[in-house]
């Protein structure tokens, strides 16, 4: 579930530091279908296409993308969806979106606020008595809003050293383990908080696990049920699912690959990690979707079609995430960031075993773009966003994101 190492980058990109890997056998020309700019056959997405091909050249097995704007829908792919059969990545392929899931949970809580059933200023203790306590954590001083914008200070369970071992070196042994929200919160509260509530910003998957628990407490239904009822069905997101503990990806899909390494290594072994139990992500990152569904969702989300005006304003009211990155702010489950060409976009990324995703939209909801890598050890999602919205691919690592040295598997960023 990424622009400083281990903070902003984790939420602005699901990609990791570049790894040395020969990609010649995996590289293929980008395939695309869709509506291009009219006159002269000019390809408005040539920079995006080039940026996608560059990711494959850098070692990503396959890249999938889609963009929608006033000219129509463009679809593109590069590389392969299966390193064994060399099946290409398909526009309708499903993949794990990890932390892009967070705003689905946030929208449910914002809709509940609009219905008068909850307030963003309610405390966690009020909604979940006794759940956030111990080692300096006090749910009576943390609000729902602070959960959603990551200013709660609650420790991130995926940073727990024991948990990182389960999801990194121990993944193959533990990939099908079940995890409950209560267990994840206990892992978090075994550590001291990062800061007192409201005194800082730190990305924490624990915040959204708690948000999902609050949805269930308020509605009497699981967060998954409420997401389906309030978002997936009304928007017709027919390829978007919440698998719970089910390890399979629904068809059609390619394969997902990981080196299971926290640091780059020469010629690392690559594992097929397509099947896994996503319960360790829960409301913070379990959703499976497609590029098309993500574009439809982000267009509705940022375009104001899911929330009343007051809640939409709350969604898009961001807090600074890093004083070295002026303009980068985190709202309630979405980031905003200015690009090199002056365009401002709302976005989120997600990183989980074998899958790195970014979904984005301009501030009016009219130009959306979503991309996915089926590998987690290299890549630059920010370069794709710069290429799509600014019409140019960065010469090197994009200014929007910088590499991190940590296991993407255990971040859900």
3-state secondary structure of 143: strand
Cα–Cα dist 125/131, whole Å: 7
Cα–Cα dist 205/102, whole Å: 9
CA 143, 149, 154, 156 torsion-angle sign: positive
Tokens of 276: 């896994």
Tokens of 304: 């104001």
Pairing of strands 137-138, 72-79: unpaired
Tokens of 138: 């006090």
**Considering only CA atoms, which of 18, 9, 100 is closest in space to residue 376?**
18
What pairs with residue 64 in β-bridges?
A: 77, 372
Phi/psi at 149 (5° precision): -105, 10
- By annotation, the residues acting in catalysis are 99
Identify the residue whose tokens are 């392969």: 80
């Amino acid at each position: 579930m990424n622009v400083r190492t281990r903070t902003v980058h984790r939420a602005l990109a699901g990609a990791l530091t570049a790894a040395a890997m020969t990609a010649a056998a995996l590289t293929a020309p980008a395939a695309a279908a869709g509506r291009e700019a009219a006159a002269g056959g000019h390809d408005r997405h040539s920079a995006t296409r080039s940026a996608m091909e560059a990711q494959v050249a850098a070692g990503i097995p396959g890249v999938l993308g889609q963009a929608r704007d006033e000219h129509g829908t463009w679809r593109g792919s590069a590389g392969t969806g299966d390193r064994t059969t060399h099946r290409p990545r398909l526009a309708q392929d499903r993949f794990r979106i990890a932390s892009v899931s967070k705003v689905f949970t946030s929208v449910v809580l914002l809709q509940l606020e609009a219905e008068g059933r909850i307030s963003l200023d309610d405390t966690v203790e009020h909604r979940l008595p006794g759940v956030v306590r111990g080692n300096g954590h006090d749910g009576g001083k943390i609000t729902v809003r602070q959960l959603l914008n990551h200013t709660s200070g609650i420790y991130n369970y995926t940073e727990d050293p024991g948990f990182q071992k389960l999801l990194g070196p121990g993944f193959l042994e533990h990939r099908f383990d079940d995890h409950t929200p209560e267990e994840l919160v206990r892992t978090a509260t075994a550590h001291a908080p990062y800061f007192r509530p409201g005194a800082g910003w730190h990305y924490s998957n624990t915040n959204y696990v708690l948000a999902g628990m609050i949805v269930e407490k308020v509605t009497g239904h699981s967060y998954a049920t409420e997401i389906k009822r309030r978002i997936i069905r009304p928007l017709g997101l027919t390829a978007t699912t919440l698998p719970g503990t089910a390890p399979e990806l629904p068809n059609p899909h390619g394969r997902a690959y990981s080196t299971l390494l926290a640091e780059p290594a020469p010629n690392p072994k690559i594992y097929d990690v397509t099947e896994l139990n996503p319960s360790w992500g829960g409301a913070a990152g379990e959703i499976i979707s497609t590029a098309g569904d993500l574009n439809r969702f982000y267009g509705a989300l940022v375009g104001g079609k899911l929330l009343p005006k007051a809640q939409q304003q709350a969604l898009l009211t961001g807090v600074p995430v890093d004083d070295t990155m002026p303009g980068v702010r985190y709202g309630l489950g979405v980031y905003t960031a200015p690009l090199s060409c002056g365009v401002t976009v709302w976005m989120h990324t997600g990183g989980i075993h074998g899958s790195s995703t970014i979904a984005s939209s301009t501030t009016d909801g009219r130009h959306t773009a979503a991309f996915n890598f089926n590998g987690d050890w290299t890549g630059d999602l920010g370069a794709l966003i710069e290429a799509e919205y600014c019409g140019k691919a960065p010469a090197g690592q994009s200014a929007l994101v910088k590499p991190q040295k940590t296991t993407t598997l255990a971040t859900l960023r």
